[in-house]
Amino acid sequence: MKILIIRFSSIGDIVLTTPVIRCLKQQLQAEIHYITKQSFQNILLSNPHVDKVYTIQKKVNEVLPALKKEKYNYIVDLHKNIRSQQIRWQLSGKYLAFYKLNLEKWLMVNLKINFLPQYHIVDRYLAAVKSLGVKHDNQGLDYFIPEKDEVKLQDWEVTSDNYIAFVIGAAHATKRLPKEKIIAICQNIKSPILLVGGPDEAHIGNEIVVSSGNHVKNTCGKLNLNQSASLVNQAQKIITHDTGMMHIAAAFGKEIISIWGNTIPEFGMYPYNKNPISHNHIIEVKGLPCRPCSKIGHHQCPKGHFNCMYKISIQTILELVEK
């Protein structure tokens, strides 16, 4: 049996598909192919359950001729957009897809009417392949780091039992704590802190270090994704926004303090950790009439006050770090 899985982006969403990959591979002994954007292929290349990765830069036409030659038995669409529909129309395999909750999310964002189901997106992904006889194995998420990308902690002057990884980035501004609140958190944590993020966070990371003290070090923009994942895997605890690295931390079974702004865990994308629920700590401001203001995020607060982040309790975060 040969199966193609479709998920073009992004980091967290792809990591959340890994239980489907593993269950299809292990339970059906299927040959698993995966199509994604070229910039995200490194998330999958080291996954032993994936036999082949196809990538695109912009259009599926880049790989359609090659996909047609594969003669898939099943196409599992875990993205459901125009591009994934194009693949469906061009390939002959049986089509399976997950329920995307577009209407339910629209009602929650725009009218604050909650018809959201109380189960995780991983469970919705797995429901898409239930007809194949696949059962949930309850083994959580997967993330595999190539040996060449494993980071030596002595290079950052920390040890695995004493540092906090603070993921300071997120794709949208309304998912990120204001800089001054991140600084206040860092100033009041006694343990060493490694700031984790990409090149876009490098400058603000430097500003946080200058204002917070020598126990804080900035790795943003200095490591690739797998190397940052290595730091997260070796950390004592993780502080993170609602972002892809949060899901990578969950794949490693880490204790996660996740901070939520304009998005809400009820969308079904909170940390999916197979460890006891005490490993996940959701930090959010409940009761705001404007929240959620988007299912993804904005460049700035639509209301101008940004209460979903400015009212986050720093003390609660500090207590969880010290606990």
pLDDT tens digits, residue range 162-188? 899 999 999 999 999 999 999 999 999
Q: Is the pLDDT of residue 84 over 90?
A: yes
Asked if the model's pLDDT at residue 134 lies above 60, the reply is yes
Confidence of residue 273 (pLDDT cuts 50, 70, 90): confident
8 A C-beta contact, residue 105 and residue 295: yes
pLDDT > 70 in the chain, percent: 99
Question: What is the predicted pLDDT for the residue at 274?
Answer: 77
Low-confidence winner among 4-8, 63-67, 218-222, 270-274 (lowest mean pLDDT) = 270-274
What mean pLDDT comes out for the span 201-207?
98
For residue 236, the model assigns a pLDDT of 95
Strand partners, 5: 34, 76
CA gap 244, 135 in Å, rounded: 25
Structure confidence at residue 267 (pLDDT): 97
As a whole number, mean pLDDT of residues 190-202 equals 97
The fraction of the chain above a pLDDT of 90, given in percent, is: 96
Segments of the chain assigned E as strands: 2-6, 31-37, 52-56, 74-77, 94-97, 164-167, 193-196, 216-218, 237-241, 256-259, 280-283
| 241 beta partners | 259
- Where does the pLDDT of residue 161 fall: very low under 50, low under 70, confident under 90, or very high at 90 and above? confident
Task: Kindly list the strands in the beta sheet with 52-56, ordered across the sheet, starting from the edge strand earlier in the chain.
Answer: 52-56, 31-37, 2-6, 74-77, 94-97
pLDDT at residue 93, rounded to an integer: 94
**Amino acid 160: pLDDT:** 80
- Is pLDDT at 220 greater than 90 in this prediction? yes
| Reduced 3-state DSSP string for 63-78 | CHHHHHHHCCCEEEEC
With a cut of 70, say whether residue 277 has pLDDT above it. no
Q: What integer is the mean pLDDT of 116-127?
A: 96
Q: How many CB atoms lie within 10 A of CB 127?
A: 16
Cβ neighbours of 159 (radius 10 Å) = 12
Res 310: pLDDT: 98
Residue 295 has pLDDT above 70, yes or no: yes
Residue 52: phi and psi, rounded to 5, are: -155, 140
- Where residue 112 falls (left for φ over 0; alpha for ψ -120 to 50; beta otherwise) is left
- Between CA 127 and CA 125 the distance in angstroms is 5
- pLDDT for residue 292 is more than 80: yes
Q: Please compute the mean of the pLDDT values over residues 297-311 and round it to a whole number.
A: 97
Mean pLDDT of the chain: 96
pTM for the structure as a whole: 0.96
The stretch 1-8 carries a mean pLDDT of 98
What residue ranges define each of the domains in the chain, with the CATH number in brackets? 2-132 (3.40.50.2000), 149-322 (3.40.50.2000)
For residue 279, name the pLDDT band (cuts at 50, 70, 90).
confident
